[in-house]
Amino acid sequence: MNSLPEIEAAIMQLSEGEIRDLSNWLQEYLNHAWDKQIEADAKSGRLDRLVQRAKADIEANRVKPLDEILNNP
């Protein structure tokens, strides 16, 4: 099983429960990969400009509490 069409065909043969398990595994895999990418970006300094901007916005009081944003759609 080396190609996407082969993988898709195999997935279609799975039970609903197996598909849910696969979905959960894939989400965990992607979350882990994303965490590793963010960690690498932070270590390399790629996020420094964003952190500096966020700190400046906080100091200038240009931010709102997260609860206020989430509770007032």
- Round to whole Å and give the CA distance between 7 and 16: 16
pLDDT score recorded for residue 69 = 87
Ranges of residues in the chain with a pLDDT under 50 are none
pLDDT score recorded for residue 61 = 94
pLDDT score recorded for residue 62 = 94
- Model pTM greater than 0.75? no
- Round to whole Å and give the CA distance between 40 and 42: 5
